[in-house]
Amino acid sequence: MSARRILLLGPPGAGKGTQAQRLVDRLSIPQISTGDMFRAAVAAGTELGKQLKAIMDSGELVSDEIVIAVCRERLTQGDAGDGFILDGFPRTVGQAEALDGLLDSLGVKLECCVALVVDDEAIVQRLLKRAEIEGRSDDNEETILNRMRVYREQTKPLVAYYRERGVLVEVDGMGGIDAVAQGIQEALA
Ligand code: AMP
């Protein structure tokens, strides 16, 4: 049976959100996107939302403490009981360790980490294009370059983390949406 507790890993702009949505449709399990949850908090205009907006606009990471608390809450909701697609979480080794502990306490395991392999220069171009289309406030050149640096320094080590745990599959993320979706489907089989 295809894996149902899935993590999509890759730099900003690699297509995680698009591919997560494909998996939602195909597997009928929820997408858990910390970026989407934080943007919702910003839109709601809460005190936490204001703090999050400043961090997100700079391209830095929200603190592990906040991220882990939000994900703990989300992963224990009923609809995540039969599987989930993590998109944008974990992003640091500390978050990955916290996730392991959380899943342990729920009696389940992460079954597959799909790492989308893309080239950095192409990604920056993709993000600049998305900035024009979606007008996200964290999609300007300075923030994009910072987000790539943050990815390399803090998130990329997770590739080795999940390889060591035997759940890593690398998928070429440079093709069209359908080709990448096909690669992911094969990786999860
Ligand atoms: P995303 O939509 O996943 O690219 O996330 C947008 C922004 O939200 C990131 O640049 C971070 O500032 C913040 N963010 C999202 N997920 C996380 C996470 N797991 N850890 C820390 N910050 C995060």
- pLDDT tens digits, residue range 15-50? 999 999 999 999 999 999 999 999 999 999 999 999
Catalytic residue list contains 39:
no
**Rounded mean pLDDT, 171-178:** 96
CB 91 less than 6 A from any atom of ligand 1: yes
Any ligand 1 atom below 6 A from CB of 89:
yes
Q: Find out whether the beta carbon of 61 lies less than 6 Å from any atom of ligand 1.
A: yes
C-alpha of residue 62 to centroid of ligand 1, in Å: 7
Q: Single out the residue of 47, 34, 45, 127 nearest to residue 88, CA to CA.
A: 34
- Ligand 1, atom 9, residue with closest C-alpha: 56
pLDDT band at 1 (very low <50, low <70, confident <90, very high): low
Alpha helices in the chain (DSSP H): 16-27, 34-44, 47-58, 64-75, 93-106, 120-134, 141-150, 157-164, 177-188
Choose the residue to mutate in 38, 39, 52, 53 for probing ligand 1, maximizing ligand atoms within 8 Å of C-beta: 38
CB 147 near ligand 1, within 6 Å:
yes
This prediction has a pTM of 0.94
136 labelled catalytic: yes
147 is known as an active-site residue: yes
Buried b (16+ CB within 10 A) or exposed e, 79-109: ebeebbbbbbbbbbeebbebbeeeeeeeebe
Active site residue 26: no
- Does 187 contact ligand 1 (Cβ within 6 A)? no
